[in-house]
Amino acid sequence: MPIVVVGKVTNTKDPQGLGRVQVKLQGYANEVEVPWMRLVGSYASNGFGAVLLPEKDDEVLVLKGDGENSDQMVCLGSVYNGGRKPHQPDSDGENNIKALKTRAGNLISISDKSGEESVVVSTPDEKLSIKLDHPSGTITITGKDKIHLSCSSGQVVVDCQQAKVSASGSVSVEAPQISLSGNVSLG
């Protein structure tokens, strides 16, 4: 009869590159480290999908089939516990925030909170970020040293009602040919 057991991830460097993990099973007289086992994924396809391996030392649940053969075991995923807590708790009970945060602090955060709907992609400490703010209709791109737009064989188009370029230093425009149309005032 299949049972669920608790384990701890000991290795994620699958020698065959199959997205498997090595786990030390707990709850036995002696902890048992099993060979590489498959990991349940939300999207596991041939050459594409979601790659979200648990971290080394994460607590995981393992579905263990009949017998002791590790081929009949599958890692269901990692679980939070008293020592490992979510970075984004559901403090208001509304479940409005969905987020993926890496060990280094890179973050993708989606807010469904009414009036605050947004998507944010940021690096650690939000030094670099892109925020899509639905209520204000604003896209904010934040960079520390440089924001680089590149289009090797096409166009970069800015199409809006009003455009403003300002800098605390100099502004330079360089091209083989520059065309301006409309009322121009240089001051």
CATH number at residue 57: 2.40.50.230
Q: 83-141: per-residue pLDDT in tens?
A: 888 888 888 899 999 999 999 999 999 999 999 999 999 999 888 999 999 999 999 99
| Mean pLDDT of all residues in 24-41 | 87
Give the percent of the chain with pLDDT over 90.
Answer: 61
Q: Are residues 102 and 73 in the same domain?
A: no
The per-residue pLDDT for 68 is: 67
Q: Is residue 134 part of a domain?
A: yes
Q: Is residue 167 part of a domain?
A: no
Q: Are residues 48 and 13 in the same domain?
A: yes
Q: Is residue 183 part of a domain?
A: no
DSSP string, 94-124: S--EEEEE-TT--EEEEE--TT--EEEEE-G
How many domains are there within the chain? 2
Q: How many residues does the chain have?
A: 187
Q: Is residue 133 part of a domain?
A: yes
Place of tokens 């269901």: 76
CB 102 within 8 A of CB 54: no
Q: Is the pLDDT of residue 146 over 80?
A: yes
Q: How would residue 70 be classed by pLDDT, with cut points 50, 70 and 90? A: low
Q: Are residues 10 and 69 in the same domain?
A: yes
| Mean pLDDT of all residues in 157-176 | 91
CA dist 41 and 38 (Å) reads 9
Domain boundary among 78, 105, 120: 78
Q: Is residue 170 part of a domain?
A: no
* Tokens found for residue 159: 């199409």
The per-residue pLDDT for 10 is: 97
Where are the extended beta strands (E) located within the chain?
A: 3-11, 21-25, 32-39, 59-64, 73-78, 97-101, 107-111, 118-122, 129-133, 138-142
Q: Which domain holds residue 43?
A: 3-78
Q: Is residue 38 part of a domain?
A: yes
Residues 6+ apart with CB under 8 A from 171: 165
Q: Is residue 13 part of a domain?
A: yes
CA dist 71 and 18 (Å) reads 14
Q: Is residue 180 part of a domain?
A: no
Give the percent of the chain with pLDDT over 70.
Answer: 97
Q: Are residues 51 and 12 in the same domain?
A: yes
- Average pLDDT score over the chain: 91
Q: Are residues 52 and 119 in the same domain?
A: no
Q: Is the pLDDT of residue 82 over 90?
A: no
Q: Are residues 108 and 71 in the same domain?
A: no
Q: Are residues 66 and 14 in the same domain?
A: yes
